């Protein structure tokens, strides 16, 4: 089909008196095509009039679109059941031309940002080879909107604690913070509401106040508002992760930092400069960082188990053996786990990645191989010896019997010390020790027999009338 410009040229040449044969030679067109244009005497393209196979099934298509929830594959299957000789591409082309089930396309907007005005933050899921295993991770990205400076880090999960760690690292990397941080209505930051009505969690609001910025969220469905951070994710997944393997999470984030340095120094056609060149201007407009940036941490309370470990996020961390059964405070930071019993006693471990089962045992918390572990004496044993130190030998012999009710026997012995006269208890215990008697019920009968003979004596010389 001849274009409109060709048709106009044919009409102009003919108006100048040039023969049809010459026009055909110059424009390399057939004389029949030229005669059709001259007969129409118009440069407009003739309307394309032809029947469409799907036109006969318009009503059925509209009905099936509603019943199949707009799924054209199901609509095509149902049309074939009705006997329609119609291909799937013909159906989709018909629906496109007539606007059936099609959303109107809107042009993307253009946003202008002043230096230091906005930083956009978002996350995206991905898979990577870490330590020889394919693991799921979350890519956290932050982009300064004016200079397009980018900073990324990867996390096994992305919770509020991880978000504060990432934003702290990003702001330190940029050397300051923008006035506004744009997010995508994530529950990590949002307490309730969306878009302009979004209200952040008080914890995150206090965090933003520390660095001198405020959180903002774009309206639902308006992903173009966060295009500065949304668009680079495809580049990150297909450039940074392509062909790379990582020995650990630390290695992954170290390579990510090096990749950011390289990417921020490359020339970009869209801004006609390298991000680092524009950052030299934007850095002057960033909010200065606080003089002191406290380390982000998360507090937990744990009770030390019988193996002298505390449990945290599927991992176990060792503590001194004499902490068994004690309640401790666990402070979790980006790279360390600090376990504190009191102000003078604390231990620290490297933090294992969230979600991974890991044992962390410090050498000083376990005796050398072959050396027995000296566990602390039970509280009942300490109470018995504190009340009557003379019973140390009897208690040691009682423990050597290997009975499973050793603690129960100590409780009974402690009760007898508190309820019965001390001399009777000590005398009966000494006699029981000589004969190897360690049954607490028999020992109690021996004590009661002594009490009856020593404390409840009657004067038989006096009769009943004398009293």
pLDDT of residue 376: 66
Q: Answer yes or no: is 292 within a domain.
A: no
CA dihedral sign, ordered 419, 424, 430, 434: negative
Is position 290 within any domain?
no
Residues 163 and 209 grouped into a single domain? yes
DSSP annotation of 374 reads: -
E strands present in 277-382: 298-303, 309-312, 315-318, 327-332, 336-342, 345-350, 358-360
Q: How many residues does the chain have?
A: 467
What's residue 382's pLDDT?
87
- Tell me: do 59 and 161 sit in the same domain: no
Residues 191 and 328 in one domain: no
Looking at the fold, whether 420 and 272 belong to one and the same domain comes out as no
In this prediction, residue 404 carries a pLDDT of 58
Q: Which of 230, 255, 285 is the last residue of a domain?
A: 285
Of 233, 264, 285, the one marking the end of a domain is 285
End position of a domain, from candidates 285, 312, 327: 285
Residues 223 and 127 in one domain: yes
Which CATH number characterizes residue 210's domain? Answer: 3.30.420.10
Nearest CA-CA partner of 101 in 125, 81, 73, 78: 73
pTM: 0.64
Q: In what order do the strands lie in the sheet with 315-318?
A: 309-312, 315-318, 358-360
Asked if 209 and 255 sit in the same domain, the reply is yes
Query: Mean pLDDT in each 10-residue stretch from start to end of the chain (467 residues)?
Result: 86 90 90 89 79 85 88 90 89 88 74 93 94 92 96 95 96 96 93 93 95 93 85 92 91 96 94 94 95 94 94 94 93 95 93 86 80 69 89 88 77 90 90 89 90 69 52
Same-domain status, 147 and 271: yes
Instruction: Please give the tally of structural domains in the chain.
Output: 5
Residue 467: predicted pLDDT: 44
- The overall longest dimension of the chain from CA atoms, in Å, is 168
198 shares its domain with 249: yes
Which structural domain range is residue 309 located in?
Answer: 298-365
pLDDT of residue 460: 56
For residue 113, being part of any structural domain is answered with: no
Q: Is residue 105 one of the residues assigned to a domain? A: no
């Amino acid at each position: 089909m001849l274009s409109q410009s060709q048709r106009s040229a044919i009409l102009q040449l003919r108006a100048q008196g040039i023969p049809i044969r010459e026009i055909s030679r110059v424009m390399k067109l057939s004389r029949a095509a030229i005669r059709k244009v001259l007969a129409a005497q118009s440069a407009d393209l003739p309307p394309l009039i032809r029947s469409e196979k799907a036109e006969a099934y318009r009503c059925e298509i509209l009905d099936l679109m509603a019943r199949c929830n707009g799924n054209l594959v199901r609509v095509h299957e149902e049309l074939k059941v009705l006997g329609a000789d119609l291909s799937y591409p013909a159906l989709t082309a018909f629906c496109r031309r007539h606007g059936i089930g099609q959303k109107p396309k809107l042009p993307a907007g253009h946003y202008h940002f002043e230096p230091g005005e906005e930083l956009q933050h978002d996350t995206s899921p991905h898979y990577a080879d870490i330590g020889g295993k394919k693991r799921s991770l979350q890519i956290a990205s932050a982009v300064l909107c004016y200079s397009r400076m980018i900073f990324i880090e990867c996390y096994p999960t992305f919770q509020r604690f991880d978000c504060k760690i990432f934003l702290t690292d990003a702001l330190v990397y940029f050397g300051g913070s923008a006035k506004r941080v744009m997010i995508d209505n994530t529950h990590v930051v949002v307490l309730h509401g969306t878009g302009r009505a979004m209200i952040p969690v008080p914890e995150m609001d206090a965090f933003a106040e520390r660095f001198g910025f405020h959180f903002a969220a774009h309206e639902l469905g308006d992903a173009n508002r966060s295009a500065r951070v949304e668009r680079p994710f495809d580049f990150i997944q297909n450039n940074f992760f392509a062909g790379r393997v990582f020995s650990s999470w630390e290695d992954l984030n170290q390579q990510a930092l090096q990749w950011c340095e390289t990417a921020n120094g490359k020339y970009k056609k869209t801004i006609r400069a390298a991000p680092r060149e524009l950052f030299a201007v934007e850095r002057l407009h960033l909010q200065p960082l606080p003089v002191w940036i406290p380390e982000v941490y998360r507090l937990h309370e744990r009770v030390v188990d019988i193996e002298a470990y505390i449990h945290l996020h599927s991992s176990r961390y060792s503590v001194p053996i004499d902490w068994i059964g004690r309640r401790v405070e666990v402070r979790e930071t980006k790279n360390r786990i600090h376990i504190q019993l009191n102000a003078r006693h604390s231990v620290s471990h490297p933090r294992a990645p969230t979600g991974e089962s890991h044992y962390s045992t410090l050498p000083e918390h376990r005796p050398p191989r072959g050396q027995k572990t000296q566990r602390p004496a039970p509280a009942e044993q300490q109470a018995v010896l504190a009340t009557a130190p003379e019973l140390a030998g009897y208690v040691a012999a009682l423990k050597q019997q290997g009975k499973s009710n050793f603690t129960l026997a100590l409780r009974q012995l402690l009760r007898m010390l508190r309820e019965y006269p001390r001399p009777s208890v000590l005398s009966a215990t000494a006699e029981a020790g000589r004969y190897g008697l360690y049954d607490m019920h028999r020992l109690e009968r021996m004590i009661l027999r002594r009490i009856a003979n020593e404390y409840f004596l009657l004067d038989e010389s006096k009769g009943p009338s004398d009293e």
